[in-house]
């Protein structure tokens, strides 16, 4: 079982950009109700895709530099990185099924 991993400015490159597997990055904040509502889905995805996908979380309140770098203007914002590049960008609350479909298309490609 794998849990979502917290990413900071210091760990973003090693965890996301240099990853050998796709990385789903959740830009969130503790006061964001849709972000909180998505937490169970992200935990389920982290468990279901253990070893083939990393689920990473960036708290925009604590990591303003990363949020700015990726021009995150509203949250939740979910980006999927593959081979060091952002390949999917989703905004607003997403269903577990939609996130899984996006990940499956990358894994099976």
Indicate if 32 belongs to the active site.
yes
Catalytic residue among 16, 35, 55, 66: 35
Cis amide linkage into residue 76, ω under 30° from 0: yes
Instruction: Give me 13's structure tokens.
Output: 């490159």
Phi-psi region of 9 (alpha: psi -120 to 50; beta: other; left: phi over 0): alpha
Task: Give alpha helix (H) positions in the chain.
Answer: 12, 33-48, 64-69, 96-107
List, edge to edge, every strand of the sheet that includes 54-59.
5-6, 54-59, 23-28, 77-82, 85-91
Q: Quick check: is 109 catalytic? A: no
Active-site residue identified among 32, 87, 88, 90: 32
Give the tokens for residue 5. Answer: 């991993």
Positions marked catalytic: 32, 35
């Amino acid at each position: 079982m794998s849990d979502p991993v917290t990413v900071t400015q210091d760990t973003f490159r090693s965890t996301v950009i240099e990853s050998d597997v796709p990385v789903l990055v959740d830009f969130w904040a503790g006061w964001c109700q849709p972000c909180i509502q998505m937490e169970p889905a992200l935990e389920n995805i982290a468990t279901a895709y253990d070893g083939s996908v990393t689920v990473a979380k960036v708290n925009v309140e604590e990591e303003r530099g990363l949020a700015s770098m990726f021009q995150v203007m509203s949250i939740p914002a979910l980006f999927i990185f593959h081979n060091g590049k952002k390949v999917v960008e989703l905004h607003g609350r997403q269903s577990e099924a939609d996130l899984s479909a996006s990940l499956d298309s990358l894994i099976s490609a």
